[in-house]
Amino acid sequence: MITVHHLNDSRSQRILWLLEELGLAYEIARYQRDATTRLAPEALKAVHPLGKSPVITDEGRTIGESGAIIDYILRRHAPDSPLRPDPASAAFDDYEQWLHYAEGSAMLPLMLNMYVGRLGEAGAPLHPRIESEIANHIGYVNGALAGREWLVGDHLTGADIQMSFIGEVTGAFGRLAQYPNIEAWVGRFQARPAYKAALEKGGPYSFARSRPSPGREKERRAEGAARMRACGLSGGVCGPHPPAGCAVGFPSPSRERVFRFPPPSAKPPGDEQASEDPANFPPGVTPPDEFQRAPGSLSP
Ligand SMILES: N[C@@H](CCC(=O)N[C@@H](CS)C(=O)NCC(=O)O)C(=O)O
């Protein structure tokens, strides 16, 4: 039986989705990210030397890399599934391209955006190149989806499942509104019963939820800045005002966030109790979306 070594809130979610689409029996071995760094636990290295997820084990074999796993499962366990085009067809060539493209090319500028964003001003010279590569790649995917529901042919294939993480990360960075074909496609695949079943089995998956579009982000910044002025603070924005204090932060998903309690009136500026943990929002207060990811995150 296939075992999916599943790291919470990660790319292995798409392998669970594939298995649900196919209706194959499988087991989940669960691994939990470090709460601060979001890195995988050492235990994953006992399964595969890289210690990354997804990894599957099956009949004595260990397979890593999402694209290879999707190929393996379809080839060995469901060769006639419509999720895998006929290897003799031109559609199969497109399908293979997407399987490789997702992690081989499209993820790179998205990852760079996350890592370089952590450098603050020091990373500024790299941003134009990163932005143009995001526009290049995500624009390419958006163009490929123009006038069609799925990436290959007229139905869902493993290519959509492999590429789904690209669409979802684009959404998690608040960029989907710029790419309406991707946005519609993400909505389409997230509505599938098998996708939902996989979510239930996999546990909380933050990438399923898109952040507000840049237009809405601008409004939220303005609202946050007004709350900051009301607090007599500057240099960030304020989340929805907690009853017991002030939440100060920077809304960009790529910038460091700091949360400070209690309100500045209770302690002199610079001496506030600082916490990077959204859990430190007062009881009953939900941190705004942009504060959900821990600033020490080193892995999407
Ligand atoms: N290209 C690989 C990427 C695997 C990967 O980096 N997975 C992340 C989770 S999305 C991971 O395991 N991160 C934990 C860590 O690096 O410690 C694939 O698609 O399988």
Closest CA to 29 of 3, 47, 53, 51: 3
CATH number for the domain harbouring residue 22: 3.40.30.10
Tell me how far the alpha carbon of residue 259 lies from the centroid of ligand 1, in angstroms: 28
94 and 188 belong to one structural domain: yes
> Secondary structure of 37-74 in the HEC alphabet?
CCCCCHHHHHCCCCCCCCEEEECCEEEECHHHHHHHHH
**Model pLDDT, residue 148:** 97
pLDDT band at 211 (very low <50, low <70, confident <90, very high): confident
pLDDT band at 230 (very low <50, low <70, confident <90, very high): low
65 and 96 belong to one structural domain: no
**Would you say residue 213 lies in a domain?**
no
> Which of these three, 11, 44, 77, is where a domain ends?
77
For 266, the domain range is: 229-290
Backbone angles phi, psi at 209, to 5 degrees: -110, 120
Q: Which residues pair with 52 in a beta bridge?
A: none
127 and 178 belong to one structural domain: yes
Interval 222-229 mean pLDDT: 65
Q: Is 183 near ligand 1, meaning CB less than 6 Å away?
A: no
255 and 285 belong to one structural domain: yes
61 and 104 belong to one structural domain: no
147-106-114-199 Cα dihedral, nearest 10 degrees: 70
Residue with tokens 């996350």: 114
Residue nearest to atom 12 of ligand 1 (CA): 52
Tell me how far the alpha carbon of residue 143 lies from the centroid of ligand 1, in angstroms: 27
Q: Is 164 near ligand 1, meaning CB less than 6 Å away?
A: no
- Report whether pLDDT(283) > 50: no
CATH number for the domain harbouring residue 155: 1.20.1050.10
Closest CA to 52 of 269, 218, 299, 258: 299
Q: Is 103 near ligand 1, meaning CB less than 6 Å away?
A: yes
pLDDT top residue among 286 and 9: 9
pLDDT digit string, tens, across residues 150-167: 999 999 999 999 999 999
> Which of these three, 77, 105, 128, is where a domain ends?
77
Tell me how far the alpha carbon of residue 65 lies from the centroid of ligand 1, in angstroms: 8
> Which of these three, 208, 237, 257, is where a domain ends?
208
Q: Is 13 near ligand 1, meaning CB less than 6 Å away?
A: no
222 CB-contact burial (10 Å; exposed 0-12 / middle 13-18 / buried 19+): exposed
- Report whether pLDDT(292) > 80: no
Look over the chain and give the mean of its residue pLDDT values, rounded to a whole number.
82
Closest CA to 33 of 253, 205, 250, 291: 205
**Is there a contact between 44 and 31 (Cβ–Cβ < 8 Å)?**
yes
- Looking at the CA of residue 10, tell me the nearest atom of ligand 1: 10
**Would you say residue 34 lies in a domain?**
yes
- Report whether pLDDT(122) > 50: yes
**Would you say residue 63 lies in a domain?**
yes
What pTM did the predictor assign? 0.77
53 and 113 belong to one structural domain: no
Tell me how far the alpha carbon of residue 300 lies from the centroid of ligand 1, in angstroms: 8
**Model pLDDT, residue 213:** 63
**Would you say residue 125 lies in a domain?**
yes
The number of folded domains in the chain is: 3
pLDDT top residue among 232 and 246: 232
165 and 104 belong to one structural domain: yes
**Would you say residue 219 lies in a domain?**
no
Radius of gyration, CA atoms only, the chain: 21
pLDDT digit string, tens, across residues 42-68: 999 999 999 999 999 999 999 999 999
Tell me how far the alpha carbon of residue 263 lies from the centroid of ligand 1, in angstroms: 39
- Looking at the CA of residue 39, tell me the nearest atom of ligand 1: 17
Q: Is 7 near ligand 1, meaning CB less than 6 Å away?
A: yes
**Would you say residue 199 lies in a domain?**
no
Closest CA to 2 of 42, 49, 47, 61: 61
